[in-house]
Amino acid sequence: MNKKIHLLVLRDILARRYQFGALMVIIGLGIAVYVCLTVAFENIGRSYDRTYRETNFADFTVEIDSAPASTVEEIRGLPNVEAVVGRQVIDTGLVAPGDRLVQARLVGVPADRRPEVNDIVIEVGRYLQPSDTDALLPVLAFADFYGLKPGDTLQVQSPSGLKDFEIAGIVSSPEYLILAESKQDFLASPRRFGVFFLPETRLEQLFGREGEINEVGVVVSNEAAREETLSAVEGVLAPYGVKVATFSEDQPSKAATELDLEGGRQFATLLPALILAVGAFAIYIAMSRLVHAQRTIIGLFRAVGYGTVAIIGHYLLIAAVIAAAGAAGGIAVGYGLSYALTDAYAAALDIPLVTNEFQAVPILVGVLVSLLVSLVAAAVPAWSAARLLPASAMRPSPEVALTKGYSSQVERVFALGRRPPMLLRVSLRNVWRAPRRTFYTVGAISLALLLLVIGFSTFDSMNFTIDKQFGETDRWDVAAAFSASKGEDSLAEARAIDGVTMAEPIYMTPATATSGSEATNVELLAMEPEQRLHGFDLDGGGDAGEILTRGEVILPTGVADKLGVGRGDRLNISTGGRTASLEVGGVSNEAMGGLAYLSMATLEGELGLPAGFNGLLIETASPSKNEPVQMALYEMAGVAGVQIKDEMRNDFQEVLALFSVMIWFVVAFCMVMAAAIVFNTMTVNVLEREREIATMRTLGSSSWFVASALLGESLALGLLAVAPGLVLGTLASSYLMASFQSEFFSMLFHVSTRTYVVVASLVLAAILVSTLPSIRHCDRMNLAEATKVLA
Amino acid sequence: MNDSTSDTPPLSTSAPLLDLRGVAKVFESGQANVTALSDVDLAFQKGELIVVLGPSGSGKTTLLNLLGGLDRPTSGSIAYTGIDIATLSDRDLGRFRREHIGFVFQFFNLIPTLTARENVEFAAELVMQDRHSVDETAERLLNLVGLSERSDHFPSQLSGGEQQRVAIARALAKDPDILLCDEPTGNLDFRTGQQILALLQSLTSERGKTCVLVTHNSAITPIGNRALRLRDGRVQSDEVNSEPVAAADVEW
């Protein structure tokens, strides 16, 4: 190939520097987002793995009622057991700064050595010493929230009253990287929940459980054989009332981090893919117009002997330059941002052991993808250039024309049946004059709309989910949990508290639900069938009270999906060493999963749990009564925790607010993209119509007329994209939400009318703004020269 | 001063429609300046058909651009009925073009997305508010140029000659005093070119339009009642032709 033709590559790019600059920006954005998110989430994943590995995270844990500590040595002797820990885990109350009562999970650890399994990482201060009796180690999230430091004192609620404990150090725990109290409350806020590590002997003594354990954590040598090992461990613990066994991937914090990572990885693929698809559209449009504009040059080159390969190579080289520039910028920016994102993420989640390793694969993929996208997009225009016959190519380009009446119906619709004004005719016909270009422009704008709908509908779905969960499902105001089963007298005591208008007993206990080969850990929530403080939204309707009375179970959507069961199916529920086969009476659409609802009578009759309750759902007379009722409940014997629903709701919203940052990031990207696309299209439109526009100005058309015609054309393109963009966005968002469902949380999909209006308005505004440079160009046009432009 | 070889007075002794005094146009091109026009003194009267001739680079098109208000002179004045258009604002210059100038281009420059009728209406609407007047004007002018049967065709569906006739109808739609035609037959075959020239001739003789016709083609000089020759940006000759020949009688 001759070098002269390639000299034109640089000149072509420089001549259209703003247009090609916009293309480079779009490709660069796609690559930057891909590299940033891919590298960051890979490093975050590695950081999690490193933390789990270095803290010897349990492969499985088994909760039991109570077993002698000596069983640990028996388990240690089992095959495939590499390490084991037996400990007490007790939920109780704690007085946080400001005399605020919060839920505390107390975990016993040896004071003379580090835990063999589920070790902790000291962030500030020191680990426990054998001389420590009344010392504890709060997790970092709680300490940060309340501004605690070593030396501060906290009061722990015990059967013998409040006891002072001094903070020896502040720690991170692999079990609470996300402060998940349980699968049902996996986004607990440190405002109301904290985890504290205490000397095991002191904890046992404080709660009268000397020499006992209620949880065993095991690390296995061969992970492939962990199920057999678990069976063996359950065999040893069977006499002591096995409640539930949990594999590491189901451990609430780890499951939540995995879900989070999975979401991030999907995001890291989907978002760049969409941006690059838009980039491909834009490159196709720009290259097509370049070929169109250079017909005579192409004809000349063909006439003097340049071959097909040289012509195709010329245009592909331009695309390759765009790809290379976009990839270089995108990789540099994306890689730089990935470190910032990893650090910010690790800091937000208190990941103690962060890994930021160099990754070559995303860079390589970034380069290849940008090249692939650009070359594929330019291939058709390049091929069409190579196929031009020299003689026809060297003739002045035929005007792009319309056939008679081509757009008259559309115009009439806009003009309500009358002959439309000239401005409307000029604007609309320019939309139709190049249908393929219009199609790709509309396609690209639709993709920008699609991304915006995904972004905004995520907000809608979050708000809808929160409203549904805390408005329709949870109808109680305050909920109390007890460490042991309570009777009628306690219920009467609660009902007598000032401000309580209704109190309903519940019984919660961990269980394993199994259907076929699918199994999951759930919290059984037994209630009276006639209860009113939990609202069910049953698929296909039905009366929840009747279902519960019939002895059937109601599952939240997430759990039903996980087990693959629906109404009428049967499943096995195991707890405390007993298994019952129960029919699924209904599936309830609710956000929080990890639960299974049944009646108190079924719990007692089928699963042999004692009569009584260990939780209360309470309705108060008014929100102002919530805190006094909470304080009064804490006065009751055996109370392990009291939650106010409004606080939970606020906590939930705060956690989701972190997520919002990423969504706003997407929204900003979409706006830039929509603007870049339209800027590109309108620039092309104006450049190739310079003579036409200059003629209008020469005839005496005002700048206002030309500007209005261009804005009208942009607006028409935008309006054409609105419907498909909103529809596709809704479908894509619905699909994405479905992929974010898990057994313990279901985001309920919802798009508000406001979202459609806002998204359409934002894109149309971006479109109009990006038309302004073209208008300015027309305003400054040299009319004498422009009226002679041929192509 | 100019290099005119003729002191022949203009056709009319009344005040000129366009009066150019000491007009010069210099284009800055990097470090070198290019003088396109220099010391041009000219006066154009109502009803004249002026054929402007000269080789490439002689300043023909620059002169046309200055007359039409598409460009401003570097020095000198261009008075239209006494008003110096060189001093007008962009906005007023736009209005001057809209109200007084009709352009006819070598490549027709029709708006491809508008039909023949709509191209004419486009120009008419610039100066007329009344819908009925616009319709009537388009109808009348398309009839005048012999295209009433083809009025709903788009430019791509018309021959070159038909497109140029639409362009002339469009130029007339604003009822301008002056028609500026840049190589109007340059892209047409001989027969069609003759028809276009005949049309321009009738517009000057019967409707009193002033027509400045720029061309490379000296064979069409006799159709005008004045021939202006430019060379190197100066007026080489300015001759009156008291007996123009009919367009149908010229050949090239």
The verdict on residue B26 lying in a domain is no
Q: Give SS3 for B231.
A: strand
Sign of CA pseudo-dihedral A460, A465, A471, A472? positive
Edge-to-edge strand list for the sheet holding A81-87? A81-87, A212-220, A60-68, A242-247
The dihedral over CA atoms of B82, B87, B93, B99, expressed in degrees to the nearest 10, equals -10
Record: contact A698-B71, CB cut-off 8 A: no
Could you list the residue range(s) of the whole structural domain that residue B188 is in? 46-69+86-249
Q: Is ipTM over 0.85?
A: no
User: What gap in Å lies between CA B46 and CA A648, rounded to an integer?
Assistant: 88
The verdict on residue B28 lying in a domain is no
Chain A CA closest to residue B155: A401
Pairing of strands B49-53, B210-215: parallel
Residue ranges per structural domain of chain A = 1-58+251-398, 60-85+209-250, 89-206, 434-473+648-791, 474-647
Contacts of B125 in chain A (CB under 8 A): 422
Q: Give SS3 for A516.
A: coil
What CATH number should be reported for the domain holding residue B101? 3.40.50.300
Among chain A, residues having any CB pair with chain B shorter than 8 Å are: 396, 398-404, 422, 425-426, 429-430, 433, 691-692, 695-703, 783-784, 787-788, 790
Confidence (pLDDT) at A4: 61
Confidence (pLDDT) at A416: 61
The interaxial angle of helices A360-386 and A252-293, nearest 10 deg, is 30
Record: contact B105-A699, CB cut-off 8 A: no
Length of chain B: 252
User: How far apart are the CA of B242 and the nearest CA of chain A, in angstroms?
Assistant: 32
Confidence (pLDDT) at B189: 81
B113 vs A430, A701, A784: nearest CB: A430
Q: Report the CATH number of the A474-647 domain.
A: 2.40.40.20
User: What gap in Å lies between CA A541 and CA A543, rounded to an integer?
Assistant: 7
Chain A CA closest to residue B96: A700
Q: Report the CATH number of the A60-85+209-250 domain.
A: 3.30.70
A400 vs B68, B101, B112: nearest CB: B112
Q: Classify residue A240 by its DSSP letter.
A: G
Q: From residue A422, give the alpha-carbon distance in Å to each of A426, B121, B156.
A: 6, 8, 19
Structure tokens at B107: 């490549």
> Please, are residues A167 and A148 in contact by the beta-carbon 8 Å criterion?
yes
Q: From residue A684, give the alpha-carbon distance in Å to each of A80, A675, A739.
A: 69, 14, 39
Structure tokens at A480: 């109390």
- Taking CB atoms and an 8 Å cut-off, how many pairs form between chains A and B? 90
Contacts of A698 in chain B (CB under 8 A): 68, 70, 97, 103
- Taking only Cα atoms into account, the Rg of chain A, rounded to an integer number of angstroms, comes to 33
> Please, are residues B112 and A692 in contact by the beta-carbon 8 Å criterion?
yes
Q: Mean pLDDT per 10-residue run, chain A (791 residues)?
A: 65 80 85 89 91 94 93 95 95 84 91 94 94 93 94 90 93 90 73 92 93 95 93 93 88 85 80 80 81 79 80 89 92 91 82 84 89 90 83 55 51 67 84 80 84 86 90 94 88 95 94 90 92 93 94 93 92 88 94 89 89 93 93 83 86 73 73 74 75 88 89 90 94 82 78 94 86 86 75 40
Q: Which residues contact B37 (CB under 8 A, 6 or more apart)?
A: B23, B24, B25, B59, B62, B63, B66, B73, B233, B234
Sign of CA pseudo-dihedral A240, A242, A247, A253? negative
Record: contact A429-B114, CB cut-off 8 A: yes
B112-168 confidence digits (pLDDT tens): 888 899 999 999 998 888 889 999 999 999 988 888 899 989 888 888 888 988 998
The verdict on residue B23 lying in a domain is no
The verdict on residue B100 lying in a domain is yes
Burial of A662 (0-12, 13-18, 19+ CB in 10 A): middle
Structure tokens at B178: 């002056």
Contacts of B121 in chain A (CB under 8 A): 422
> Please, are residues A40 and A354 in contact by the beta-carbon 8 Å criterion?
no
The verdict on residue B14 lying in a domain is no
Q: Which residues contact B212 (CB under 8 A, 6 or more apart)?
A: B44, B50, B52, B64, B67, B178, B179, B180, B181
Record: contact B126-A396, CB cut-off 8 A: no
pLDDT, average across residues B45-72:
91
Contacts of A699 in chain B (CB under 8 A): 97-98, 103, 122-123, 126, 170, 174
Structure tokens at A534: 């939990």
Confidence (pLDDT) at A415: 61
Chain A CA closest to residue B179: A699
Confidence (pLDDT) at A417: 63
Confidence (pLDDT) at A395: 58
Beta bridge partners of A618: A478, A503
Q: Which amino acid is located at A712 in the chain?
A: G
Confidence (pLDDT) at A688: 72
The verdict on residue B19 lying in a domain is no
Q: What's the domain count of chain B?
A: 1
User: How far apart are the CA of B100 and the nearest CA of chain A, in angstroms?
Assistant: 10
